[in-house]
Structures are given as C-alpha cells and as structure tokens.
Amino acid sequence: MIADLIPTQIFAFMLILARISGVVMLMPGFGELNIPAWIKVAFSVAVSVVLLPLVSPVLPPFPSTPAGVVVLTVNEALIGLLIGALTRLLLNALHVGGTVIAFQTGLAAAQGFDANQHSQSAMFATFMTLLGVNLIFASNLHHLLVQAMADSYMIFSPGKVPPLGQISELSIAVVRHSFEIGVKLAAPFLAFGIVFNVGLGLVARLMPTLQVFFIAVPAQILLGFALFAFVITSMMFWFLDYFRSGLAPLLTSQ
C-alpha cells in the first residue's frame, strides 16, 4: 500500500507544482527577472505543499503510460502560464499610462530598463509599474493572486483541456481593458498636452520673436512633474481597484 501511495502523492504534487510554477513565472512581483530563481522555486514549492491536501480530490488518477504523465504535466504548466499571463496583462495598464505620460511631458526619450517588461521603457512607465507592484503587496492584493491559484482548480479542471474559446475571449477583454485603463490613467496629461501646446501656439503667434522652444521644453517638464505629483495618488488607487476587479474572473468566491 505504501508503494502505491508514494507514487500517487508524488504525481499529485508534481501536477500542482507544474501549474503553480507557471503562475509564479509570470505573476507580478515574483515574475521579474531581478527576482532570484531560488525564491521563485521556494514560493512555488511552499504554495504547492499547502494546496496538495486541498486539491488532491480533484486531480486525475495516475496515468498508465509515461506519455500520459507528460501530457498532464504540460497541460497543467500551460494553464499556469495562462493565469500568470492574465495577471501580468493587468499590470500593463500602468505601462501604457506611463508611456503616454512620458510623451505628454516631453520625457519619452528618457529610457531605462524595465524588469516587468524585460525591455527598455520610459522612466515614467518603469516608475509607475514598480510602484504598482509595491502597492499590490502593501494592500494585500497578492493574497488574491494566491487565492486565484487555488480557485483555478475549480475553473480549469486538472486533466482536461481548458475551454479555448472562453480563454481567447477573456484574454482579448483583458488586453482591451488594460489599454483602456492605461489611457484613462493618463487622461489628465492628455488634457495638459493639448492645453500646453495650444498655449504655446498662441504665444508663438502673438510674440514671433520669442524663442518658444527654449521656454517650452523646461516648462513642459516642470508642469508635467507638478501634475504628476498632484494626481499620482488618485491614479494608483484607481489602478488597485481595477486590478482587484480584473482578478474576479479567476476567483470563484467573488
């Protein structure tokens, strides 16, 4: 009996670890390149150990062939990557908003490495994304990410092919909503850009001898920073509400 129990428990743990590792690989906070791999592995193992007795009843039986083991493991890993990618897309709203803000304040050329995007990004986008990740943990929204890992076993049954049609619709909706929220976050700066450029045009028209360019660039940056300091609190609170509501499709209790 022990010989039969040990392989079954190891197989169950392996399936859970495959899904959780996929989520952790992409989820905000743990999926960044600057997070050591051993932290990601330790967190994945810890969550898998906790979930093992909870989700074991819904796991498929031990396959009779090695190919069946591989298929189930790959399927669980893909589901985990899907969940992690959806949570990562929610965070992209800050990147979109920060990029728009950078263009409207004349700082689009100020680029830096963004660990969340794994590429060069505008400094405003990098700062807002980093601030968003910190606020997710400070406001305990990361608990919802862990809850989403557990609830995923009720939404995506282990051993079954996930509904690709619903996944496609959900992914498209998340991308669209993320871009929409990003533009809305930057709405004050879009209005600022229009007013500022119209004002510069009027000044240049009324005072042709004035070197508008030498005044415009520092004024645009200074006023942009002042506006950013004024609205950043409201922007981040709005983002946290959006992030919380964006996780609702991955939670069975909400």
Region 12-18: what's the mean pLDDT?
A: 89
Average pLDDT, the chain: 85
> Is 111 contained in some domain?
no
Which pLDDT score is estimated for 106?
82
For residues 126 and 5, which has the higher predicted lDDT (pLDDT)?
126
Q: What is the pLDDT of residues 208-226, one digit of tens each?
A: 777 777 888 888 889 989 9
Do 40 and 24 touch, CB atoms closer than 8 A?
yes
Give the pLDDT band (50/70/90) at residue 45: very high
Q: Is the pLDDT of residue 19 over 70?
A: yes
In a domain, residue 27? The reply is yes
In a domain? residue 112: no
pLDDT bin (cut points 50, 70, 90) of residue 6 is: low
Rounded to whole angstroms, how far apart are CA atoms 100 and 120?
Answer: 15
Residue range of the domain that includes 94: 2-106+118-250
CA angle 210–215–218, rounded 5-degree value: 175
pLDDT-derived band at 151, boundaries 50, 70, 90: confident
**161 in any annotated domain:** yes
Instruction: List helix spans (H) across the chain.
Output: 2-26, 37-55, 66-104, 123-138, 142-155, 164-185, 187-206, 212-246
Q: How many domains does the chain have?
A: 1
Would you say residue 113 lies in a domain? Answer: no
**Per the domain annotation, does 65 fall within a domain?**
yes
Question: Tokens 């298929």 — which residue?
Answer: 71
Residue 102 lies in a domain: yes
Q: Would 216 be classed as within a structural domain?
A: yes
pLDDT above 90 coverage of the chain, percent: 20
